[in-house]
Amino acid sequence: MSQYLLSIDQGTTSSRAIIFDQRGAIVTSAQQEFTQFFPADGWVEHDAEEIWESTLAVCRQALKNAQLPASSIAGIGITNQRETTIIWERDTGKPIHKAIVWQDRRTSATCLALKQQGHEQAVQSATGLLIDPYFSATKVAWILDNVEGARQRAEQGELAFGTVDSFLLWRLTNGASHKTDATNASRTLLFNIHSQGWDDELLRLFRVPKAILPEVEDSAADFGSADAQWLGAQIPVAGIAGDQQAALIGQACFKPGMIKSTYGTGCFMILNTGSEALASTNRLLTTVAYRLNGEVTYGLEGSIFIAGAAIQWLRDGIALISHARETEAMAQEVGVEHGVYMVPAFTGLGAPYWDPEARGALFGLTRDTGIKDIVTAGLQSVAYQTKDLIHAMEADGAGKPTTLRVDGGMVANNWVVQFLSDVLNVNVDRPAIIETTALGVAYLAGLQVGVYQSLDDISLLWHCERHFSPEMSDDLRNDLYKGWLKAVERVRTID
């Protein structure tokens, strides 16, 4: 019987395919980076064709590496960078514009106008989100308004919109399936998280025609089958979830109060709040954590736009390092008290500030500041931003977590995780598999095709690889964090 699961993890900077066995162990994986386009200040685009081609290539490579026939794959799971917006032609499957990436700020004036017109409260209570260029709705409208004839074609039903999961599903099924799951839908600003349906009032407000929207399914569902021409056999697509929600599942945070934080390009912390859609009064997001058998589990999310991307910038933008892994030894050498702060607001500030016009800055430079201090400040900024989120969650009544489960490419860095534990004053657990995003959606696909019977089966598969506990004095922690708050204040453009 086919018992392997193939996860497609389509992230912001790379496409990955990982094959898992039924114990959740990685059999093999393949990864490909793809081009980032920065056509203007604050704009970020991807080529949707390159997203598709790199995804297909890594799936084929993973199967080849594993020396497994496609028929041994019981199901495919798709997890993806969320909010990123693609519109394509229904008859050809061709995108009509580059994908507008979640980090893109081009619609900030539109968002500001909607906020000034007083729409934010109603939008927040329906969607759990804030009016910000981060989410898909204003990106959809931008494409419809800026590609000639697009709005009319959309209204006539000739065009389809999707987040990256939908686009890949469409391609894998040769256009037979135009679907998404509730976690991805909950990031569009068009989906009512209480009624679990597209919301007509929001569609009117954001000027998005209903005809372009995908059907919304549970996160473990029958999404259609990948055509045999792509991977060598027809394989059911059985799980879909946005990457941050998938990581929550991969971290087995199934009980209310459990919390994870993922450090990839950005950093996303999600607290499981169970069946309660906890409304934030501290500018966090209420989101669908997962939907199984029609039952919704909600999450409270803090979204930070730049985490590992700060390290990428140190490498590719200003060439202070050649590899991300070099940063650990540098920080070990420099220590925590060098007086430099980096506020990596390259694409504005996310939670809890939501300041799209803020830009990055370095503070505390002196004649003896060196490369290692700046690099260390980049690593530290990630922990300080996480502390901002924990404070907002506490203010929302969530209570201080006892343990935080972490994952994502950046937590391979032991120094970062120890500093995180020190600054938060919280125990931090790093699991044996830090590819929790891919693992989470493999679990979802496995639930659908019967490899797993329940979430309890999955919880048993989670293992801690290393536990980090706080070692820093309260005085030092407070002093360091005070310096961060001062630095953030200096880049903010709105209160």
Ligand X SMILES: Nc1ncnc2c1ncn2[C@@H]1O[C@H](COP(=O)(O)OP(=O)(O)O)[C@@H](O)[C@H]1O
Residues 264, 248: Cα–Cα separation, whole Å: 14
The gap from C-alpha 390 to its chain's centroid, in whole angstroms, comes to 18
By CB under 6 A, residue 412 contacts ligand X: yes
Contact set for ligand X, span 306-365 (CB under 6 A): 308-309, 311-312, 324-325, 327-328
- Least distance between ligand X and beta carbon 362 (Å): 18
Q: CB of 301: closest distance to ligand G3P in angstroms? A: 9
Tell me the per-residue interface mask from 63 to 102 with ligand G3P, x by CB under 6 A, - otherwise: ------------------xxx------------------x
Q: 23 Cβ partners below 8 Å, 6+ apart?
A: 461
Torsion angle in degrees (nearest 10) through CA of 288, 292, 296, 297: -70
User: Is residue 341 part of an annotated ligand binding site?
Assistant: no
| Contacted entry of ligand X, ligand G3P, none for residue 83, CB cut-off 5 to 8 Å set by kind | ligand G3P
Smallest distance, Å, CB 419 to ligand X? 11
Ramachandran angles phi, psi of 469, nearest 5°: -120, 155
Rule CB under 6 A: which of 211-270 touch ligand X? 264-265
Q: How far is the CB of 28 from ligand X (least distance, A)?
A: 17
Rounded to whole angstroms, the Cα distance separating 276 from 279 reads: 9
Q: Tell me which residue of 171, 407, 94, 430 sits closest to 267, measured CA to CA.
A: 407
| Residue 245 annotated as lining a ligand binding site | no
Residue 299, binding choice from ligand G3P, ligand X, none, Cβ under 5 to 8 Å by partner class: none
Give every CB contact of residue 488 below 8 A, 6+ residues apart in sequence: 343, 349, 353, 388
- Phi then psi for 269, rounded to 5 degrees? -105, 130
What, of ligand G3P, ligand X, none, does residue 14 touch, CB below 5 to 8 Å by kind? ligand X
Taking CB under 6 A as the criterion, which residues in 230-269 touch ligand G3P? Answer: 242-244, 264-266
- Give the separation between CA 62 and CA 187, rounded to whole angstroms: 30
Q: Binding string to ligand G3P for residues 26 to 65, with x set by CB under 6 A, is what?
A: ----------------------------------------
Kindly state the tokens that stand for 322.
């050649």
**Cβ(471)–Cβ(418) under 8 Å?**
yes
Q: Per the structure block, which two tokens stand in for 5?
A: 């699961």
Which residues contact ligand X by CB under 6 A?
Answer: 11-14, 264-265, 308-309, 311-312, 324-325, 327-328, 408-410, 412-413
Sequence ranges of the binding site for glycerol? 82-83, 134, 243-244
